Structure formats: C-alpha cells, structure tokens
Copies of this chain bind each other. A is one copy, B any other.
Amino acid sequence: EDRKKQLAQQVNDPYAREPSRSADLEILSLRPFNAEPSKDVLAENYFTPNETFYVRNHLPVPQVKVEDYKLVVKAGDSIKKEFSLDYLKKNFPHATVPVTIQCAGNRRRGMSKVRGVDGLMWDSTAISTAEWTGVRLADVLRHVGVTESFVHKHGLRHVVFEGMDGGLDGKYGASISFERAYEKGADVLIAWEMNGEELPADHGYPARLVAPGLVGARSVKWLESIVVSPDESQSIWQQKDYKNIGPSHLNRMSSANAAKEAPPVREMPVQSAILVPEDKDELSLKDNTISLKGYAWGGGGRGIQRVDLTMDGGHSWTQAELCDTQDRRGATQKYSGVGDTPNPNQWAWTLWQADLPVDASQNKFDVCVKAVNSANDTQPETPMGIWNLRGLLNNSWHCIELYRE
C-alpha cells in the first residue's frame, strides 16, 4: 500500500518533467527552478546566451506541444478570439526588440545585510538581455477589435495575462495598464523567439509576453490568455507579491496590509553592478590598475547617461566607459547611453568598463558603482532607505572588496 502511494506521488510529481539545464547556472531553488548566470557570462555577452539566461520560475514548467497551443484573447463580453502560434506568425508583422529583463529580487542578498528579508537570495545576476522576436501585443489587440473608444465605453483599464503554469494558488498571472499594452512604442511583444532561436522550455515555450522596462514578473511565460479587463490581475503575484512596500513595515502582518494599498511594481529603478572582478577576488595588479566590467540599466525605457566608480566611499569618482555593442548580425549598435535626443526605446542594458589606477602601497580596495539614467535619477548609497521585507528593488550602489594577491 505504502509503495503504491510512493509510486503515485512520483507519477503525479509536477516537477517530474522539468527540462535539462546548463551546468553554468547557479541554482537558487530546484522546485520551482530558479537560477542565475555567472558574472563572467553576463560581462562577456551583450545578449545573454539562452541556456544561461537567468531563470525565474514560480511553478513547475508546463509541457506544451506547439500544435496544441492556443492563445485566447478576450475583451469585455463581446470579444473572444483564439490564435494558434502559426496564425500569429503568418498574420501580423514581426518585431525584434532587444530587451533586458530583471527580477524584482535581483540583489536581494545585498539588501538582506541591512535586515532580514523574505525570498530567494539572488546575487546581482538575476538580470539578462536578449533579442526577442514576436508580434506586437498592440497589433493583436487592434486585430480583435480593441480600440480606445471600446475600452473607454466598457471601463477596461488593464490587460491581464495568464500562463499555463499553475499550482495551489491558481495559474501564474499578471497585468499591465492598457495604455502600456496598446502603445506601439512600448514594444510589448508576444514572443516565440529569443536570440534567434525558439524559446527554451524555461523561458516560456512556445510563446510568452515580453513587457519591456517593467519588472520581470509581468513578462508572463507559457502565455495562455490575454484579457482586457476593468481590473488588475487578481493573482497573488500581482496583488500581494511584487509591491514596493518600503522600510517602515518591519513585520509580515504590517507588510501584507500595506501591500493591499500599494500599487504593483511597474517600471524598475536605475540599476548597475560590477561583474568583473568578483567580490573578494585577489588580483595580481602588476600594473597597479584594476580593470572592471559591469552592467547598467535605466529601467522603463530610460537610457544610461553615465556610470561612476568610487574607491573611497563616494568622496572621489571615475567615470566608466559605456560600451557600444554589436547586434546579433554583427552591426555596431549604439544601444548604450543617450544621444542628442533621448532614445525612448532604450529597453536594453548598457555594458561598461573602467581601468582604475591604484596606489602601489594599497592592498585592499573597496569599489562601488552607480549609474545615472536619462531622467537624471541615480542609485542610493545603501539599501537602508529602500529596504523592504520582501527584499525587492535593491538598486543601491553595488560595492565589492578586492585584494592584492
């Protein structure tokens, strides 16, 4: 009898058929699978290779056959359509957009040093970048008859997404504002390709949402339905998690109550981190120069205008060099920085590098980085003022200790 139960549990194990994964991912949890790439991989690739793109799963990976895949699109009581992936590919213009996706919990480990927080202890690489190919959500909404007057007439204000991944709390779901979803320039995609390849199972095969500039949690994977609605997604991930509660709510009860009133996390704040060298590295420093590499991301479509480094706690600074990059077809792209007019579609990160001269007599170095985005917003020195019990949105100066070997 006991053996039968055991077997039945194995067969019913929702995690029994997870995809195989790269050994280069640093695993934070197996069930659900959550993992981040090494710092080297991020530093060496403007577009993160698919197999090492950070993975943030909330639930078991659903098994989906593309030939069975249907995307339901609904609005009000009168609009309901179903699309196969093949239909989407053949009937809408394709768009390819470079987009950085970042987990709201990126750098939670750093925030937890101020005071304990809940959640997976992400280091600074719960962020990755890809070229995503798909169709524009705005085009699909227009196609089914969603217009500005239609949503106004029916009081529809949000676009609610559900994935095929489910569990005790229902299917994974999230929503974004109608304005953001409908605006062509917002580049919200229903994507089936990532860096020119079909989506891996961990990243939403066969189709996912990509919502540029917003917290990663809104880019729903294994996308099953799209509903234009009067209300936000009622999922726990929209209603309870992924809220910026702030440093005045020290216990779970207070934090949960505040979450009911707070808006969901939408756009993310300006972020940066050092990728190379790593914290606690011992360097030969033969030429008394520390060479650093890292990323900066403006959030919400805002570009990066400057990255600054300090080795004395903020008293003196050196400007980093912002790297141009090559797109996947080898053409040089000015994805980085802000030009003489700001690029409103700066959805992807800026990689940077710097060579810092150091004193021959010094053996320990405290290096911090912070970035400035096109709106002149910058990062706070420490996580003290942005601390929250969920450990979200740590964008304080990223600091590492280095030693002379």
Q: How far is the CA of A305 from the CA of B243 in the complex (A)?
A: 11
Given A267-B375, A382-B381: A341 and B178 interface contact (C-beta under 8 Å):
yes
Q: How far is the CA of A380 from the CA of B376 in the complex (A)?
A: 12
Are the C-beta atoms of B157 and A340 separated by less than 8 Å? yes
Given A177-B342, A246-B308: A314 and B382 interface contact (C-beta under 8 Å):
yes
Q: How far is the CA of A384 from the CA of B368 in the complex (A)?
A: 13
Are the C-beta atoms of A378 and B376 separated by less than 8 Å? no
Q: Contact partner of A305 among B158, B263, B370, B384, CB < 8 A? A: B263
Instruction: Kindly supply a per-residue 1/0 record for chain A positions 268-299, scoring 1 wherever the CB is within 8 Å of any chain B CB and 0 otherwise.
Output: 11100000000000000000000000000001
Residues of B within 8 A of A263 (CB): 305, 338-340, 342, 374
Are the C-beta atoms of B385 and A397 separated by less than 8 Å? yes
Q: Is A319 an interface residue when CB atoms closer than 8 A count as contact?
A: yes
Given A308-B246, A308-B248, A385-B310: A376 and B179 interface contact (C-beta under 8 Å):
no
Q: Is A306 an interface residue when CB atoms closer than 8 A count as contact?
A: yes
Residues of B within 8 A of A262 (CB): 305-306
The range of chain A's interface size is: 35 or more
Q: Is A315 an interface residue when CB atoms closer than 8 A count as contact?
A: yes
Copies of this protein chain in the complex: 2
Q: Is A196 an interface residue when CB atoms closer than 8 A count as contact?
A: no
Q: Contact partner of A385 among B267, B305, B308, B384, CB < 8 A? A: B308
Are the C-beta atoms of A375 and B299 separated by less than 8 Å? yes
Given A385-B314, A385-B381: A376 and B244 interface contact (C-beta under 8 Å):
yes
Q: Is A83 an interface residue when CB atoms closer than 8 A count as contact?
A: no
Instruction: Kindly supply a per-residue 1/0 record for chain A positions 217-256, scoring 1 wherever the CB is within 8 Å of any chain B CB and 0 otherwise.
Output: 0000000000000001000000000001011100000000
Are the C-beta atoms of A269 and B378 separated by less than 8 Å? yes
Q: How far is the CA of A161 from the CA of B268 in the complex (A)?
A: 33
Q: Is A311 an interface residue when CB atoms closer than 8 A count as contact?
A: no
Given A244-B305, A342-B177: A386 and B378 interface contact (C-beta under 8 Å):
yes
> A375's closest neighbor in chain B, by CB?
B267
Q: Is A372 an interface residue when CB atoms closer than 8 A count as contact?
A: yes
Residues of B within 8 A of A244 (CB): 305-306, 372, 376
Q: How far is the CA of A232 from the CA of B340 in the complex (A)?
A: 8
Q: How far is the CA of A177 from the CA of B244 in the complex (A)?
A: 32
Q: How far is the CA of A341 from the CA of B339 in the complex (A)?
A: 30
Residues of B within 8 A of A150 (CB): none
Q: Is A393 an interface residue when CB atoms closer than 8 A count as contact?
A: yes
Residues of B within 8 A of A377 (CB): 269-270, 299, 373, 375, 377
Residues of B within 8 A of A299 (CB): 375-377
A residues bordering B, Cβ < 8 Å?
A: 157-158, 177-179, 232, 244, 246-248, 262-263, 265-270, 299-300, 302, 305-306, 308, 310, 314-319, 338-342, 344, 370, 372-382, 384-386, 393, 397
